[in-house]
Amino acid sequence: MAEGKIRLVVRADDAGSVAEANWGVRQCVEAGTVRNVSLMATGWALSEAAWHLCRETLAPRADVAVGLHVCLNAEWEGCPFRPVLPPDRVPSLVTDAGHFLPMPGDLKARGFSVDEAMAEVAAQCAQLRKSGFVLSYLDEHCGVGWISDELTARLAAFCQSQGLIYATRLLPGLPGEGLDFAARVRQAPTGDYLLVAHPIVGDLSGLSRYLHLRGEPADGSVARERDAERAVLSRPELFQELTDAGAMLVSYPEIFTQ
């Protein structure tokens, strides 16, 4: 790494969740800013992601890493996710309606089965590969691993067995706040950093209008925030601005190996 430079892993989470996320991620990948795409096998739009995002955008890009975004909770009140496995195979993970519990802390409070969680993780991994995605890393939706040391250890072992980088907690976040990413890069000390984004193309006629937590207003504010993030990350000029600020945009495999 050149003196005064940082290596920046820009990761787009929640691809496959809703179609608007697929479109947003696609724009950011094509702009050259997102080099790591994390997919939810439990999402409402996985099939759409497999057809368009995978075949048309990711498959030709050997420089873009694709990861399993392990999902064991369903925080969005209006469109809760279900497991890949039949709910009766993972009863400690789901509600009576067969959806995941809202937040990781709810799983911890319930006393979930780590065996059931890992069976679901394996099913999610298999589902993404069956859909045509070539995986190189694994990370955790909502950082679910914090709820159990055993779960974290078994996720690490699973990654080792599957030839995946266990990307959770490998890198510190890019310092600072806000959407002026080039300014944040200029202010960051030399090192390796992670910038996690959730880009979507805001379309309140789609499922993104349901992206709100319990108790929060269903006013589309989350969709607007994520659309604003997408608008910045997909600007054609941003890649050069980040480069000029001292960032080298990289994928997880360019930094970490098994």
Range of the domain at 186: 6-255
**176 within a domain of the structure (yes/no):** yes
Q: Give the residue ranges of the chain where pLDDT is below 70.
A: 1-4, 204-206, 209-210, 212-213, 258
Domain tally, the chain: 1
- Report the pLDDT value the prediction gives residue 3, as an integer from 0 to 100: 45
Question: First-to-last CA distance in the chain?
Answer: 20
Nearest to 61 by CA among 103, 32, 97: 32
Q: Write the pLDDT tens digit of every residue in 128-176.
A: 999 999 999 999 999 999 999 999 999 999 999 999 999 998 999 999 9
CATH of the domain at 76: 3.20.20.370
The reply to whether 111 falls in a domain is: yes
Is 1 domain-assigned?
Answer: no
Question: Is residue 81 a part of any domain in this protein?
Answer: yes
Candidates 1, 4, 23; CA nearest to 14 is 23
Residue 197 in any domain: the answer is yes
